[in-house]
Chains A and B, each alone.
Chain A
Amino acid sequence: DSGVTQTPKHLITATGQRVTLRCSPRSGDLSVYWYQQSLDQGLQFLIQYYNGEERAKGNILERFSAQQFPDLHSELNLSSLELGDSALYFCASTSNPLAGNTGELFFGEGSRLTVL
């Protein structure tokens, strides 16, 4: 158990719909990352938050947005869904690597999104 909780584990929806994925980081971790992993593919970095503020953006589509709340949980919103958005979405958290920590990422079990 990594200590990172993601909900829902599975989600099936239709094209054009909107969904929200939720992530609770490990206790004390200020940094949250979102990744997309399509079937048998690598990890595509979407976005990072640190203590409520956006820190870095990757290949995140304009239809996707995210935020980190004061209690440090994060949500990834996916709208106008397309078939190609079907993937496993991982959240990961870490303590601040600049504070001398290893900065290893602790991943949740992922949310599997299927768009029909």
Chain B
Amino acid sequence: GQQVMQIPQYQHVQEGEDFTTYCNSSTTLSNIQWYKQRPGGHPVFLIQLVKSGEVKKQKRLTFQFGEAKKNSSLHITATQTTDVGTYFCAGRVMDSNYQLIWGAGTKLIIKP
């Protein structure tokens, strides 16, 4: 079936270090969305990428969508404690139901 693989599962960083999570889809996506879930919270939409090769920035966060629309990444520069949480990608599949296929998430942990 259609899958979106997301790696790594966990990433431990020192505050101030960078963080990156990657998503790879088994099928071409219509678009891809990114969500953040804080500990104890619910997923919150961050951004959607639609175009092949698209790059979008939100302050210290950089989102990329691959040329083949099968992979995506989220990069955080100089992590802060407020960045702690789990980041999920979710790809929309080009089918009649326009379904979202979720990655398993990457948990960002800031080392004390």
In the complex, number of A-B residue pairs with CB atoms less than 8 Å apart: 50
Q: How far is the CB of A88 from chain B (nearest CB, A)?
A: 9
Cross-chain contact of A43 among B43, B44, B92, B97 (Cβ < 8 A): B43
CB within 8 A of B48: which of A45, A102, A108? Answer: A102
Contacts A42-B103, A42-B104, A43-B102 given: A107-B44 contact, CB under 8 Å? yes
Residues from chain B with Cβ under 8 Å of A104 in the complex:
33, 45, 48
- Contact residues in A for B48 (Cβ distance below 8 Å): 102-104
* A110 / chain B contacts, CB cutoff of 8 Å: 42
Using C-beta atoms within 8 Å of the partner chain, give the interface range for chain A.
Answer: 20 to 34
Chain A, range 70-108, C-beta contacts under 8 Å to B: 90, 92, 97-98, 102-108
The reply on A11 being an interface residue by CB < 8 A is no
Residues on A with C-beta less than 8 A from B42 are 2, 90, 107-110
Q: CB within 8 Å of A: which residues of B? A: 33, 35, 41-45, 48, 88, 90, 92, 97-100, 102-105, 107
Interface residues in chain A, defined as those with a beta carbon under 8 Å from any beta carbon in chain B: 2, 40-43, 45, 48, 55-56, 90, 92, 97-98, 102-110
